[in-house]
Amino acid sequence: MGKKVSHLEMIQNVIARLSHNSFLIKGWTITLISAFIVIEKSNLNTSLLYIAVFPTLLFWIIDSYFLYQERLFRKLFNKVRLLDEKKIDFSMDTKKFKEITWIKTFFSKTLFIFYGLILLGLTILILYGGNNCG
């Protein structure tokens, strides 16, 4: 069982790093958007809210890439889990998992709700003059 366990640990370590990166991206998104809103409120400058849309979209793209990679490695993990010990080759190739696409991941429920709500909030602040809200 040594080779299989080692290979599964390698894959699990990659999944953990990708998941951690995704968590950090979400934290940076909230921090940056909050900073844009606070600065906009103090300077009475709604143009900052327009600028805040760009990093939100950029973080959404990056986060969806990390989630896409994480899903691929989870598929690899499940494949390796079922392999016979003698067939373990320590491959980390995820290209064979075609059913997972980046665009499906981009519009996954979790990411769409998280980033969609942020963009909706920014849109409301832009349309209704962020300085008049609150």
Q: Are 75 and 100 in contact (CB under 8 A)?
A: yes
Secondary structure (H, E, C), 60-81: HHHHHHHHHHHHHHHHHHHHHH
Q: Does the pTM of the predicted model rise above 0.85?
A: yes
For 97-115, the pLDDT digits (tens) are 988 899 999 999 999 999 9
- Where are the domains positioned within the chain? 2-132
Model pLDDT for residues 59-74, shown as the tens digit of each residue: 999 999 999 999 999 9
The residue written with tokens 């080692």 in the block is 6
Orientation of helix 109-127 relative to helix 2-43, angle to 10°: 10
* Cα distance between residue 4 and residue 9, in whole Å: 9
8-state DSSP, 2: H
